[in-house]
Structure 1
């Protein structure tokens, strides 16, 4: 997956991300700004996941988004 493309489409993708991970706020998604490491950190914080679990969930979700 190409995170440059995801960063470029971030505002378009925020709705889908919010549907998938409803505990993330608009402000948090704005703060993440398409950065995978920041998104992983927010998911770890909100859902109590390990970094590996967060990365796995992110990769699965974005696999078909680029």
Structure 2
């Protein structure tokens, strides 16, 4: 799923993203606001993953 589709469907996807990455608060999800790069950064920060690992995780989840 490309970045535009993530942003366009963000309201519907917020709950599923929060289930997958349970450390995210509602405020985190509001900051991410469907932007792929923000999501990758938050995963890195919350879970201590490298950028490459976080990007692969996001791509795998949304594809």
Task: Please give the alpha-carbon distance, in whole angstroms, between the structure 2 residues aligned to 1:2 and 1:24.
Answer: 21
**Larger RCO (CA under 8 A, 6+ residues apart):** 1
Q: CA RMSD in A?
A: 0.7
Shift of 1:14: 0.4
TM-score, normalised to structure 2, is 0.95
Task: Please give the alpha-carbon distance, in whole angstroms, between the structure 1 residues aligned to 2:3 and 2:37.
Answer: 11
Equivalent pair of 2:41/2:51 in contact (CA under 8 Å): yes
Q: How many residues align?
A: 63
Write the deviation string for residues 37-58 of structure 1: whole angstroms up to 9, x where unpaired. 1101100000000000000000
Task: Please give the alpha-carbon distance, in whole angstroms, between the structure 1 residues aligned to 2:2 and 2:51.
Answer: 19
TM-score, normalised to structure 1, is 0.91
Q: Where do 5+ consecutive residues of structure 2 fail to align?
A: none
Q: Where do 5+ consecutive residues of structure 1 fail to align?
A: none
Shift of 1:5: 1.4
Moved runs in structure 1, 4+ residues, more than 2 A? none
